[in-house]
Amino acid sequence: MQYVSTRQKSTIVTSSEAIVKGLSVDGGLFVPNDFPQITGQELSQMQDMEYSERVAFVLSKFLSDFTIDELKDYTAKAYSRFYGDDPCPLVAVADNTYILELWHGPTCAFKDMALTLLPHLMVASRKKVGETNKTLILVATSGDTGKAALEGFKDVDGCEIIVFYPSEGVSDMQKLQMQTQEGNNVYVCGIKGNFDDAQSAVKVIFNDDNIKAELEKNGYKLSSANSINWGRLVPQIAYYVSSYVDLLASDEIKMGDKINFCVPSGNFGNILAGYYAMRMGVPINKLICASNKNRVLTDFFSSGKYDINREFYKTMSPSMDILISSNLERLLFEISGRDDKYVASLMNDLKTKGFYEIDFAKLKENASNFEGGCSSEEMTMDTIENFYDEYDYLLDTHTAVAVNVYQKYNNYNTKTVIVSTASPYKFPQDVYNALTGEFVEDSIKATEMLEEYTGVEIPEPLQGLQSRVVRFKDVIEKDKIKDAVLNAIKNK
């Protein structure tokens, strides 16, 4: 399987090159040259596999320069770090409605599904392409990627990792998780700005020849653990396939029945993996893209215009507070019939004018499986409360956005999997507030009160956070990211 850049199809790389590079030199994202198919018979056979074997099987269709045994080794290691029996349980909550819990990993957010695995893929890919420089992983995070990447890459040979987060744009728990990160190859830094500022600054570094030369002098090559990296996306395809297999195994559906997925979205990476699963042949009816108050994706799916000239809101679902959804570029590539010049021109419009517009009729026709919807802060609060009252199920602030959008979409005839992206205990103040009307300032206190109120257990990885040592307190101006990167490696 070969990979091409969304902005220049003539740039062709292997899967290991795509993973090591992260981003194409033309600024485009790597995508598979075609979509491998998964047959009904294979889906059927997957019922007897453990989750880690299912992932290895799906990966083997995309990562042709890895053997199945290599992949099985990595997935076994990655998913053994999850707590509980099943890395991603599918919970039936109501008629035709299921919740796919993707937060049983070491940091309690869905990013763990990929970021426990990516370091294994990265180390192996470096060997395969003969890389001798150290790999410097640069991450911009809206809260969850940072911690999950730090956990994944800490003390991994040949890799160093630097994470930038918006200092006032993540939850207290997310901040505490990152500031207390252990490991000898990690650096964490807050910036005065929002996630888009952090992401843009990191992208500028990726395209800056001077800084890249400076890094190489010091023996470093850049790579990315953000969802622009193919190695982040491909493990995510697996849980869409696997939840279909779970529904088959429990006789909830028959082979070939189509199901919906409703996904809380920000950077569009999670739901895009669902689209790829569909293109592989998994029977999917609708992919419902749920946004918070930052509804740029909702507007795109209802008009064809992607416009970031708008106010940026800080919400209680910070991991979705994003205006520039990087992975949409990969969908644009597919729905434009893989027109690289066109994608490059749209991305240029976005950079220079802050918006692009595509033919709405064409969008409807070529992305007919997508629906978009959004949830206000108030609706999200109400949803957490009502869902708990009605189904005795505790939602986090991101999953609640998806549930709200799904309830408005209201087509209960088709079985729907709501993708749950974080433990409610990552956002204890807001969740507790939604249930009781009381806002508890201190996140640790709120955690305890939430546990007492609901009886839902605090996940293992979030227990005892308050007693860990804060190692990283730096906060810098957003135009100082470059200096911070150079300083961090020189201080090694």
Ligand X SMILES: *Cc1c(COP(=O)(O)O)cnc(C)c1O
Our CB check for ligand X shows the closer of 75 and 270 to be 270
CB of 386 vs ligand X, minimal distance in Å: 20
Query: What SS3 state is found at 104?
Result: coil
Our CB check for ligand X shows the closer of 263 and 485 to be 263
Between CA 38 and CA 149, with CA 123 as vertex, the angle to 5 degrees is: 85
E strand residue ranges, 179-333: 186-192, 220-224, 259-264, 284-291, 305-307
Our CB check for ligand X shows the closer of 115 and 446 to be 115
Q: 248 near 43, Cβ under 8 Å?
A: yes
Token representation of residue 455: 């009886």
Token representation of residue 269: 């990476």
For residue 126, give the nearest of 66, 58, 79 by alpha carbon. 66
CB of 220 vs ligand X, minimal distance in Å: 26
Residue 94 CB partners (closer than 8 Å, separation 6+): 390, 391
Our CB check for ligand X shows the closer of 27 and 318 to be 318
CB of 488 vs ligand X, minimal distance in Å: 24
CB of 405 vs ligand X, minimal distance in Å: 13
Token representation of residue 472: 């990283």
Print the SS3 string covering 349-397.
HHHHHCEEECCHHHHHHHCCCEEEEECCHHHHHHHHHHHHHHHCCCCCH
Residue type, 101: E
Cα-Cα-Cα-Cα torsion 361, 362, 364, 365, nearest 10 degrees, comes to: 120
Our CB check for ligand X shows the closer of 400 and 449 to be 400
CA distances from 127 to 19, 155, 197 (A): 12, 17, 33
Our CB check for ligand X shows the closer of 315 and 421 to be 421
CB of 363 vs ligand X, minimal distance in Å: 19
Indicate if 111 belongs to the active site. Answer: yes
Residue 72 burial (10 A CB sphere; 0-12, 13-18, 19+)? middle
- Residue of 111, 175, 286, 293 marked catalytic: 111
**Residues at the site binding ligand X, with contacts judged by CB under 6 A:** 109-111, 144, 227, 264-270, 319-320, 398, 421-422
Our CB check for ligand X shows the closer of 120 and 232 to be 232
CB of 267 vs ligand X, minimal distance in Å: 3
Angle subtended by helix axes 172-179 and 443-454, to nearest 10: 120
CB of 224 vs ligand X, minimal distance in Å: 14
CA distance 111 to 88: 12
Annotated catalytic residues are 111
